[in-house]
């Protein structure tokens, strides 16, 4: 560790937020957009969400089907690998637990899942990080429908991992037995991405 | 990038060897990074500042230079009330040490072997990684055609102006069009106003030429330009975007 001459730092979190900011992160009040490539726009009448077991559809939900499922609220701190952290973000959507229940599944059909999205983006996650209330497919942020730039109509929300795992424009959760790197995971980013262990890049421990 | 046993990107100590003012709000720091493995045009570094009591701040900065041994240039824009950029612009002196990790990135990168015509679209300090691409292109033996469309607030805010003008007049140099959004100079040969679909159609290559577009700037700028390119027939996979903001590579 090299002490930077003359640097005292102005971003120290105090009070309520101290202890909530992972290493290397700093607080922001806005909600930055980070996306690879152009923003896809899918009309709701063409939108569907599938749960898939390897290559087989287990269930395909229309927007109306999805909206009819139990809606849950989640308040969470989110951490982007580009170093920003935003506290107390408020979301609404359907938990992955409720999606599995809707597909008639008592157990997830695999140890890992890949989120597949409009625009071709993918990201991989252990199923254990998606269940027990830890993750949802979110359609609302701050009480408003998600805008396309932030992943609307629906995005995955897995707030305890770096935010690239919370895939925008999600259209399918594909369950599989192995952990297959997704888009950023194949481009030098960490396979798991725990912000508290600062797992930003491939090889970070 | 991924292998059976990936090596972690370790923190390296970099020494400031030069400082170049670019505009009133922007300066370039040239860092000497012993052991630097080289980088690809468009990649970035993570910079880490450490206070005497152990407090640390990290930010990402695009690399603005092409490969040049162990020298790495970053271009820093002042973010009002920022924690890191005012420090880098006002406090850092030649021979100071800074820590960095890199090079990072494998998506917003240009491969000199790619023959696709290059369309580079910059908003403000988003020109930094595109400058790295243009500098790498200038060193390439047989580079594809390239055009830069660069939007600035006013003439005084154009970063790298002299070098870009020299590039544009060199044999095989890129076509460059500046556009100004908040000033109309009395003498001005560039464009005026925000980049829109008509300007992109005029400057860009036809989609049938299979151009590769790199777009970098503030989020609303990138959203608009990328949507316009899609409307003009550019396939999404040939539009590489990098969104800058106070929380991105210019903090």
Q: Per-residue b/e over B196-232, b at no fewer than 16 CB within 10 Å?
A: eeebbeebbbeeeeebbbbbbbbbebbbbbbbbbbee
SS3 B4: coil
More confident residue, A18 or B235: B235
CB contact under 8 A, B60 and A83: yes
Tell me the pLDDT band of A106, cut-offs 50, 70 and 90. confident
Q: By percentage, how much of chain B surpasses pLDDT 70?
A: 95
Residue B249 has pLDDT above 70, yes or no: no
Q: Which of residues 231-250 of B touch A (CB under 8 A)?
A: 236-237, 239-241, 243, 245-249
CB B225 within 8 A of CB B121: yes
Strand partners, B74: B29, B63
Pairwise CB contact (< 8 Å): A4 & B227: no
**pLDDT for residue A128:** 98
B246, pLDDT greater than 80: no
| CA distance to partner chain A, nearest, from residue B65 (Å) | 21
**Nearest chain A alpha carbon to B83:** A10
Q: pLDDT category, B247, cuts 50, 70, 90? A: very low
Q: What is the mean pLDDT of residues A43-59?
A: 94
Q: Which residues of A touch B104 (CB under 8 A)?
A: 188, 201
Q: How far apart are the CA of A132 and the nearest CA of chain B, in angstroms? A: 31
Query: Any chain B CB within 8 A of the CB of A202?
Result: yes
Residues near B65 by Cβ (< 8 Å), separated by ≥ 6?
A: B30, B71, B72, B73, B132, B135
Q: What is the pLDDT of residues B13-72, one digit of tens each?
A: 999 999 999 999 999 999 999 999 999 999 999 999 999 999 999 999 999 999 999 999
Chain B residues with CB inside 8 Å of A79's CB?
Answer: none
Which tokens is A140 given? 């609302």
- CB of B218 less than 8 A from some CB of A: no
Q: Report pLDDT for A18.
A: 76
The C-alpha atoms of residue B28 and residue B36 are separated, in whole angstroms, by 19
Alpha-carbon gap, residue B224 to B123, rounded angstroms: 11
What does the longest C-alpha to C-alpha distance in chain B come to?
A: 60
Grade residue B1 by pLDDT with cuts at 50, 70 and 90. Answer: very low
- Candidates B2, B29, B213: best to mutate against A (most CBs of A within 10 A) is B2
3-state DSSP assignment of residue B244? strand
Among the listed ranges A18-32, A39-53, B94-108, B226-240, which one has the minimum average pLDDT value? A18-32
For A132-185, the DSSP string reads: TTT-EEEEEETTEEPPGGGTTT-EEE-TTS-GGGS-TTEEEEEEESS----TGG
Best of B247, B248, B250 to substitute, by most chain A Cβ atoms within 10 angstroms, is B247
pLDDT band of B251, cuts 50, 70, 90:
very low
Angstrom distance (rounded) from CA B61 to CA B64? 9
Q: Is B91 on the interface with A (CB under 8 A)?
A: yes
Q: What is the mean pLDDT of residues A106-113?
A: 93
pLDDT (0 to 100) of residue B6: 61
Cα(A155)–Cα(A137) distance, rounded to whole angstroms? 6
Q: Which residue of A has its CA nearest to B62?
A: A82
pLDDT at A177: 93
Distance separating alpha carbons of residues B151 and B124, to the nearest angstrom: 6
Q: Tokens 């240009």 map to which residue?
A: B110
* pLDDT recorded at residue B250: 29
pLDDT at res. B81 = 86
Q: How far apart are the first and last CA of chain B?
A: 26
pLDDT digits (tens, 9 = 90+) for A5-32: 999 988 777 766 778 999 999 998 888 7
Which residues of chain B are within 8 Å of residue A122 when distances are taken between CB atoms?
Answer: none
* Antiparallel, parallel or unpaired: β B56-62 and B71-77: unpaired
Closest Cβ opposite residue B56 in set A6, A24, A82: A24
Nearest-angstrom CA–CA distance, B16 and B170: 30
**B245 falls in which pLDDT band (50, 70, 90)?**
low
pLDDT in tens, B207-222: 999 999 999 999 899 9
Is residue B177 within 8 A of residue B190, CB to CB? The reply is yes
Which residues make Cβ contacts (< 8 Å) with residue B112, sequence separation at least 6?
B41, B136, B137, B140, B143
Tokens of B208: 């049938």
pLDDT (0 to 100) of residue B239: 96
Q: Which helix (H) or strand (E) holds B181?
A: none
Long-range contacts of A124-127 (CB under 8 A, 24+ apart): A124/A179, A124/A180, A124/A181, A124/A182, A124/A185, A124/A191, A125/A158, A125/A161, A125/A165, A126/A179, A126/A192, A127/A175
- What integer pLDDT is reported at residue B2 of this predicted model? 44
Residues linked to residue B217 through DSSP beta bridges, in sequence order: B243
Say whether pLDDT at B166 is over 50.
yes
- Lowest-pLDDT choice from A128-142, B116-130, B133-147, B233-247: B233-247
Q: Does A203 touch chain B (CB under 8 A)?
A: yes
Size of interface A-B (CB pairs under 8 A): 138
Residue A23 contacts B where some CB pair is shorter than 8 Å:
yes
Q: How distant is the alpha carbon of residue B171 from its chain centre? A: 23
| Contact between A169 and A118 (Cβ < 8 Å) | yes
pLDDT band at residue B5 using 50, 70 and 90 as cut-offs: low
Q: CA A40, A45, A51, A56: dihedral to nearest 10 degrees?
A: -100
CB A159, CB A129: distance < 8 Å: no
Q: What is the mean pLDDT of chain A?
A: 94
Task: State both tokens at B164.
Answer: 């870009």
Report the pLDDT value the prediction gives residue A10, as an integer from 0 to 100.
Answer: 80
Cα Rg for chain A, rounded, in angstroms? 17
């Amino acid at each position: 560790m090299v002490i930077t001459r003359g640097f005292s730092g102005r971003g120290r979190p105090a009070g309520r937020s101290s202890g909530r900011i992972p290493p290397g992160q700093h607080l922001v009040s806005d909600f930055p957009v980070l996306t690879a490539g152009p923003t896809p726009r899918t009309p709701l009448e063409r939108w569907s969400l599938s749960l898939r077991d390897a290559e087989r559809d287990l269930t395909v939900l229309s927007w109306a089907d999805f909206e009819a499922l139990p809606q849950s609220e989640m308040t969470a701190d989110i951490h982007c690998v580009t170093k920003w952290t935003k506290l107390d973000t408020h979301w609404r959507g359907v938990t992955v637990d409720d999606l599995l229940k809707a597909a008639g599944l008592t157990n997830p059909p695999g140890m890992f899942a890949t989120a597949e999205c409009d625009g071709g983006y993918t990201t991989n996650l252990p199923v254990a990080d998606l269940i027990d209330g830890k993750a949802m497919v979110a359609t609302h942020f701050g009480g408003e429908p998600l805008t396309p730039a932030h992943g609307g109509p629906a995005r995955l929300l897995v707030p305890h991992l770096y935010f690239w795992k919370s895939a925008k424009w999600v259209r399918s959760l594909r369950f599989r037995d192995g952990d297959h790197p997704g888009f950023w995971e194949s481009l030098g980013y960490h396979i798991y991405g725990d912000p508290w262990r600062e797992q930003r890049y491939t090889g970070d421990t | 990038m991924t292998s059976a046993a990936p090596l972690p990107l370790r923190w390296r100590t970099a020494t400031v060897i030069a400082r170049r003012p670019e505009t009133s709000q922007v300066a370039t720091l040239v860092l000497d990074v012993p052991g630097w493995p080289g980088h690809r045009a468009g990649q970035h570094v993570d910079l880490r500042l450490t206070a005497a009591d152990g407090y640390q701040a990290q930010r990402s900065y695009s690399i603005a230079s092409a490969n040049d041994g162990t020298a790495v240039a970053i271009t820093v824009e002042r973010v009002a009330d920022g924690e890191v950029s005012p420090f880098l612009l006002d406090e850092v002196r030649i021979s100071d040490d800074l820590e960095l990790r890199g090079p990072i990135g494998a998506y917003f990168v240009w491969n000199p072997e790619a023959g696709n015509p290059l369309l580079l679209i910059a908003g403000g300090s988003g020109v930094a990684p595109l400058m790295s691409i243009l500098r790498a292109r200038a060193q390439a033996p047989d580079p594809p055609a390239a055009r830069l469309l660069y939007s600035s607030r006013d003439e005084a805010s154009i970063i790298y102006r002299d070098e870009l003008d020299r590039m544009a007049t060199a044999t095989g140099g890129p076509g460059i069009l500046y556009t100004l959004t908040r000033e109309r100079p009395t003498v001005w040969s560039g464009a005026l106003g925000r980049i829109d679909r008509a300007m992109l159609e005029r400057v860009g290559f036809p989609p049938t030429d299979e151009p590769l577009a790199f777009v970098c700037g503030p989020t609303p700028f990138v959203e608009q330009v990328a949507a316009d390119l899609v409307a003009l027939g550019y396939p999404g996979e040939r539009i590489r975007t990098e969104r800058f903001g106070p929380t991105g590579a210019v903090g």
